[in-house]
Chains A and B, each alone.
Chain A
Amino acid sequence: AQSVTQLDSQVPVFEEAPVELRCNYSSSVSVYLFWYVQYPNQGLQLLLKYLSGSTLVKGINGFEAEFNKSQTSFHLRKPSVHISDTAEYFCAVRVGSNDYKLSFGAGTTVTVRA
């Protein structure tokens, strides 16, 4: 089974500061990578995904992530956060093109303070 590790369970950050959320996965084969966001009392919404091509992926709401195959990482970044970015963020991985199941990390709660 795939293993996805989100290295920080809680990340407090001040408004307009940058934030980085770390995600590592265990796989020796090709993977598809995803970041989802969950706002309070809501379902999950796709932020961005890496399927192939450029290793720098841009998503919605100013987020971006970089796929690093040698370090098996897919860290999420935003250069300047807003109060509205307060949410839980999940990294997920899908192995190969024939397996459509996702494995999720435990999640990182981002709290943005004024």
Chain B
Amino acid sequence: DAGITQSPRHKVTETGTPVTLRCHQTENHRYMYWYRQDPGHGLRLIHYSYGVKDTDKGEVSDGYSVSRSKTEDFLLTLESATSSQTSVYFCAISGQNGVADTQYFGPGTRLTVL
């Protein structure tokens, strides 16, 4: 257990509504990541952070934004949810003590957009 939690764990929402997912870590890892998991695609990187207020886009960033105002928390926001964003979302962390070679994953958030 790498001390990483995600909230909520399950969410059902309607098309067009904003949604924010939270990732919280207690291990002081520098890097944080948001992935989505869809059948046949494995995990795809949405956004990542390499420090407080330092973020960048991944391969599937359209329709998503992120914020990191403190080391422990990395927020993923869907400004206006669409049915194509129905997925399981995973947060990951790495970079404790400056060693970024392994990513540790949270338990996931299952999001359904109706």
Chain A contacts to B: CB under 8 angstroms? 1, 4, 6, 9, 32, 34, 36, 42-46, 49, 51, 90, 92, 94, 100-102, 104-107
Contacts of A51 in B (CB 8 A): 101
| Total contacting residues, chain B, CB less than 8 A | 25
26 A–B contacts from the bound complex (CB under 8 Å): A4-B42, A32-B101, A42-B107, A43-B90, A43-B105, A43-B106, A43-B107, A44-B90, A44-B92, A44-B105, A45-B105, A49-B102, A51-B101, A90-B42, A90-B43, A92-B43, A94-B101, A100-B31, A100-B100, A101-B33, A104-B43, A104-B44, A105-B42, A106-B40, A106-B41, A106-B42
Quick one: CB contact mask for B29-40 with A, threshold 8 Å, 1 for yes? Answer: 001010000001
Chain B contacts to A: CB under 8 angstroms? 31, 33, 40-45, 48, 50, 58-59, 90, 92, 94-95, 100-108
